[in-house]
Chain A
Amino acid sequence: MDVESMNTALQCLREKYAVSAEGTLVVDAGQAAEVRLETDGGAVPLLPWRVERRFAELKKMIDGGTLEQVSTLRFAVMHGGARLEHLVYREFDLCEWMAGSPILKAFAAVAGSKVANVIVTFANGMSASVECSAALPEGAAEIDRHEIIARRGVACDRVVDTQVPQASIYAFTADGVKTYTDTDAELFGFSDAEIWAVRAAFAVLKAPALAAEWKMADCGVKEKVTQTLACAETCVPAVFSEEIQA
């Protein structure tokens, strides 16, 4: 990540939208987002997927009543080079945020250090399957899918009858096929990970109350990921205490 350029972009957004709160992105390999936000109030863990457009739209479909009575989430991510616990972390946080309910119980079937297949139960009774793999070849484009199944309606970030993400542009030349997907004109030229990290930082600066919310979510999800992956060793489902839910 080009954190220096990301910080420049963050300041441009602050000026453009007259956001007075200040903050700086700092590299942090321990975070799933790979960066954290440093503010006057301390460090803030970033949850960039929560501001990513496709997830924001899916969340709106749940909260706005496009989907009614959600039953099950089917989430999956395959990556090359990422840490497995970071993949599970993102999906767990997405799960809780989409479900609007904390994960109460999880059982993981883990193969080696790169694959985890998890079944999750939420406090509100919903279920989720979470498939995480860090076994794609290094440099391969991420493949993911987030499907929400409700009594009324199914929503997904993948179009029906497809298995892999589509791109906006396909370039067919003598060098082969290259794909491009650009979703943010204001941050054009940054990678997706950089864009959503800047957007997440901007969201926190714009609405500082988000910092506390994300810190709390971060603590809970980190603990749940650790316990879930550990339960694969014991073959006993991880059940989370109310303290973690807080």
Chain B
Amino acid sequence: MKPVKIAMMSLTHGHTRKYYQTLIENAKLDWVASCAEDPRAKETYELYQTGVPCYLSADEMFERHPDIEAVVLASANDKHLAQMQDCARRGVHVLSMKIPTFDMAEYDAMIAAVDKAGIVCQIELEMHYNPVVHRLKKLIAEGAVGKIVSVQATNITLSPVWAFPWQGLPEASYGRRVPLKTGDARCRGGALCDHPHIFDLIRHLTGADFDFVYSSVAPNLRPELQVEDMLLVNGKLKDGTAFLFDPSWSRMEERLKVPGPGWEVFPKRMEVNVTVVGEKGTLVCDCFGPNVYHNGAPNDRYTVQYTYFDEWVGMIDEFAGCIREGKEPLINLRWHRPTIAAMNACYDSVASGGPCVVG
């Protein structure tokens, strides 16, 4: 397979650095250029010494590298529409971050642009390329627990806002300032926006879409944030499956500008645990464990040192394969739309104080 000439754009998303190794090592790809959103993002990028040239303008990057076939849009959510339309206009395939947009009109404009240009647009939901999730899907498909009746899941992390400030800005994260509810100074755009994975995963595991959701926000652990950091969600799918999700930023962090050792205060900085109750049994699943553990430098705190973070390897494989073979990615814009609609319904539920039907 001819390697796909690929570039990265913006470099302000929290997942940016996770692409570097796989873009360099995978022979299906030829990483030719990057462009940073601003000098700070460029400076951080240069710490990793990838050897790939970095520009401060997308136009300059495309001008100097007209052979770019695909890009990873590693940008804030409010940049996605313009960037995706620009890429579509250029006929460049797109790997979008996990939230294309929360504005459903913008979302449909993205679908239209991608369809018109005939490009591949894959959404970064990396959990699908996690080996534990592979096993979970396989067990369920084989009928290990029978028909699913309930799913409980966590997608809890530390808050990335100190390293990636746009994730704490309602306009950049949610797309605009929408108060959480009457009398609450906080706006939409916090922890929920960071954690779509379990909303997506339950649809894959059950084959059903959301019926209704109920969501409640708690007092923030970080009162200075403009956005929510603690919330819970429950509800039902259209096939009757009940669920309870925790998509919070419930793990405290050191306020590092660049993520690195010592970022976490709670030992495990990120957890996706899933319990699937079926008619014939129960599966209890930790998607990121077991690991190794230490209490050494820099903070002498008990810390989980993850032993695998390879989701990006499989995801990029799929992206390159779809480009060369003209296939539709598993997580494409159309598939992902009901997930975003459900997350919006969670915010509507917070605002109304009652359950919300997912439209």
Contacts and interface: CB of A to CB of B under 8 A. Distances in A.
A binds B: yes
Contacts of B144: 171, 173
B139 A171 contact: yes
Nearest to A154: B295
A128 to B, nearest CB: 18
A: interface residue count bin: 35 or more
A169 B293 contact: no
A124 interface: no
A57 B282 CA distance: 32
B52 interface: no
B266 to A, nearest CB: 14
A158 B311 CA distance: 23
B291 to A, nearest CB: 7
Interface in B305-326: 305-308, 310-311, 313-314, 317
Given A18-B27, A168-B135, A184-B310, A58 B292 contact: yes
Nearest to B277: A172
Interface stretch (A25-33, A104-112, A175-183, A231-239): A175-183
Contacts of B353: none
Contact of A153 (B129, B139, B294, B310): B294
Contacts of B313: 185-186
Nearest to A157: B292
B314 A186 contact: yes
A66 B297 contact: yes
B26 A16 contact: yes
Nearest to B130: A185
A17 B145 contact: no
A57 B302 CA distance: 15
A160 interface: yes
Given A153-B300, A169-B132, A66 B27 contact: no
Nearest to A185: B131
A18 B27 CA distance: 6
B201 to A, nearest CB: 14
B290 interface: yes
A192 to B, nearest CB: 12
B211 interface: no
A3 interface: no
Contacts of B296: 61, 66-68, 150, 152-155
Size bracket, chain B contacts: 35 or more
B289 interface: yes
A106 to B, nearest CB: 26
Interface in A49-64: 53-54, 56-58, 61
Contacts of B290: 157, 159, 165-168, 181
A155 B300 CA distance: 11
Interface string B94-137: 00000000000000000000000000000000000111101110
A38 to B, nearest CB: 24
Given A16-B26, A169-B135, A174 B310 contact: no
A84 B286 CA distance: 33
A160 B304 CA distance: 11
Contact of A168 (B129, B281, B287, B314): B287
A42 interface: no
A152 B292 contact: no
B297 A68 contact: yes
A157 B291 CA distance: 7
Interface in B7-37: 25-28
A67 B25 CA distance: 29
B96 to A, nearest CB: 21
B218 to A, nearest CB: 28
B280 interface: yes
B283 interface: yes
Interface string A8-49: 000000011110000000000000000000000000000000
B285 interface: yes
Given A168-B286, A185-B313, A174 B308 contact: no
B261 A66 contact: yes
Q: Which one of A53, A157, A169, A172 has the highest number of Cβ atoms from chain B below 10 Å of its Cβ? A: A169
Contacts of B139: 169, 171, 180
Contact of B27 (A15, A154, A185): A15
Contacts of A150: 296
A168 B289 contact: yes
B284 interface: yes
A97 interface: no
B241 to A, nearest CB: 18
A15 to B, nearest CB: 7
A154 B317 CA distance: 37
Contacts of B131: 182-185, 188
Interface in B165-216: none
Interface of A: 15-18, 53-54, 56-58, 61, 65-68, 150, 152-160, 165-174, 180-186, 188
29 contacts: A15-B27, A16-B317, A17-B27, A53-B307, A54-B307, A57-B306, A61-B294, A66-B294, A66-B296, A67-B294, A155-B294, A156-B292, A166-B290, A168-B135, A168-B285, A168-B287, A169-B139, A169-B286, A170-B285, A172-B281, A172-B282, A173-B281, A173-B282, A183-B307, A184-B131, A185-B313, A185-B314, A186-B310, A186-B314
3 smallest CB-CB distances across A and B, nearest first, come from: A153-B296, A173-B281, A155-B294
